[in-house]
Amino acid sequence: MTTLPGWNFDKFAEGIRAAGITGPPVSRLIPGAVHGTDTLVSNFASVNMLNLQRRDDVMDRLLDATRKYGLASGGSRTVQGVSPAHIEMETTIAAYLKKEAAISFGTGTLANIGFINAMSGTHSFMPGVAMVNRDVVFVFDRDAHWSLWKSVEGLKFGERIFSFKHNSVESLEEVLKGLAGKRVVVVLESVFSIDGTVAPMHELVDVCERYGAVSYVDDANGFLLYGPPHRKFAEEYAGMQRADFIMVSMKKAVGLEGGLIAGPKDAILGFELLSGTGSFTAGMSAPAAAGTDYITKLLAYDEPEIVDGYLAKVADFRKMLLDAELPVTDTETCFSSLVIGDERRCVELFHAYLDEGIRVPPYLYPAARRGQAVLRIIINAAHTDEQLSNFIEVSTKLRDKGLL
């Protein structure tokens, strides 16, 4: 086996192999309720949670756009441009989020990195076309997503990076008091997928406005699932729409790849050059943009009962978890996690579930806090009652054996 002298890859690989990690799982199926190649397992890791790609109308939209535009983006949006499908999608989502404009990216991570790059650096393109943001400081929720923390790793904590206690309005205000007179960007999340909590958006945005801070909300996990008045967290989502910028990911409810930032028209135009990830990387494919536009309209306006039915199914499953007295997080969102704690034991439980024909992913540091590893559960709209009941039975068995 080839090694790289002076590097630690051989020992690191040995360690992760010992933990049972040998590579990514492979599946011959559209992501959904089952997963695998020759042997299929129940999949509780699917982010295509509404299973919409198996609808004929959705697949027809994706295939029609593929025939019309092809699969390759051809380059960055700055150089190659975008398709009419991108413009329609960005217009649709900006209107849904009650913002003036929107810009799309290849992924939510690229959107987050692009936003931080635009708001933190000094950019000079030609005389009269420059943006100087080297004095801007950022305030993060401590549990913000890895992609957000990754975006600011070049900035010094305590000088340009600050944090506040998870979802704590009081803690945010205390931090902002100490930054009086500075240009501040507060970075928030709507729904946290590890513990399922929802941020108190009205109160957080109130504090941002009181101290003149720009607010940016990562809504990767709740987009199209929450917001309407008849659903849970409608008040929190009304607060989120007050934020200056909202980032959404297409991965969860839409089930496709891509990310988007919506906000003030001039700022969004500026991000075409300032983000970097819009200028130097390829964007969403046109079929993904066309499919996202179609699914957004479907879930937001034409068939909102799709989401209503899914959330009712999530609530029923959560009740099953609680009735079985399993160590589930305090959450009423579509993300439930079994609290494990120790990272190695979490990986061992992942394999124990897999031996029973169930894939439920382990989330370790840096996805979760150190020593607070979880098994994150996302049910799929296509999961059968039998699959859900089997999950409870297997979990109970593992708990009774002292493994869970």
Section 353-370 average pLDDT: 92
Rounded to whole angstroms, how far apart are CA atoms 294 and 232? 24
Its pTM stands at: 0.95
Rounded to whole angstroms, how far apart are CA atoms 117 and 277? 9
Q: What is the pLDDT of residues 184-214, one digit of tens each?
A: 999 999 999 888 899 999 999 999 999 999 9
Section 124-147 average pLDDT: 91
Between 388 and 80, the more confident residue is 388
CA 330 distance to own-chain centroid: 19
**How far, in Å, are 45, 99, 259, 275 from residue 246 at the CA level?**
25, 9, 11, 15
Residues in the chain: 404
| Burial tier of 332 (Cβ tally within 10 Å: 0-12, 13-18, 19+) | middle
- Does this chain's domain 20-49+304-400 share its CATH topology with 56-302? no
| Burial tier of 157 (Cβ tally within 10 Å: 0-12, 13-18, 19+) | exposed
pLDDT at residue 338 in the model: 93
Section 34-50 average pLDDT: 90
What residues form DSSP beta bridges with 338? 328, 375
pLDDT at residue 68 in the model: 95
With a pLDDT cut of 70, the percent of the chain lying above it is: 100
Residue 61: pLDDT band (50, 70, 90) is very high
Q: Is the dihedral of CA 149, 199, 215, 77 positive or negative?
A: positive
Rounded to whole angstroms, how far apart are CA atoms 304 and 96? 13
What residues form DSSP beta bridges with 189? 218
Section 382-390 average pLDDT: 97
| 129-132 vs 137-141, strand pairing mode | unpaired
What is 213-260 written as a DSSP string?
-EEEEE-TTTTTTS-STTSTTHHHHHHHTTSSEEEEESTTTT-SS-EE
Contact by Cβ (8 Å): 261, 119: no
Question: For the chain, what are the domain ranges?
Answer: 20-49+304-400, 56-302
pLDDT at residue 300 in the model: 98
Contact by Cβ (8 Å): 151, 136: no
What residues form DSSP beta bridges with 185? 138, 214
pLDDT at residue 315 tops 90: yes
Q: What is the pLDDT of residues 320-339, one digit of tens each?
A: 999 999 999 988 899 999 99
Strand-by-strand arrangement of the 161-164 sheet: 101-105, 259-263, 245-249, 214-218, 184-189, 137-141, 161-164
pLDDT at residue 23 tops 90: no
pLDDT at residue 31 in the model: 87
Rounded to whole angstroms, how far apart are CA atoms 250 and 371? 30
Q: What is the CA radius of gyration of the chain?
A: 22
**How far, in Å, are 11, 206, 223, 243, 245 from residue 101 at the CA level?**
49, 23, 17, 14, 10
CATH tag for 20-49+304-400 (out of 3.20.20.60, 3.40.50.300, 3.90.1150.10, 1.10.3720.10): 3.90.1150.10
Q: What is the pLDDT of residues 267-308, one digit of tens each?
A: 999 999 999 888 888 889 999 999 999 999 999 999 999 999
Residue 3: pLDDT band (50, 70, 90) is confident
Q: What is the pLDDT of residues 238-274, one digit of tens each?
A: 999 999 999 999 999 999 999 999 999 999 999 999 9
Residue 81: pLDDT band (50, 70, 90) is confident
Between 140 and 48, the more confident residue is 140
Residue 19: pLDDT band (50, 70, 90) is confident
pLDDT at residue 79 in the model: 84
pLDDT at residue 69 tops 90: yes
Domain 56-302: CATH class, spelled out: alpha beta
Contact by Cβ (8 Å): 358, 42: yes
pLDDT at residue 351 tops 80: yes
| Cα–Cα nearest to 40, from 55, 52, 30 | 30
Contact by Cβ (8 Å): 187, 213: no
Contact by Cβ (8 Å): 245, 214: yes
What is 13-70 written as a DSSP string?
HHHHHHTT--S----SS-SSSEEESSSEEEES--S-TT-GGGSHHHHHHHHHHHHHH-
Rounded to whole angstroms, how far apart are CA atoms 347 and 367? 14
Averaged confidence pLDDT in the chain: 93
CA 19 distance to own-chain centroid: 26
pLDDT at residue 99 in the model: 98
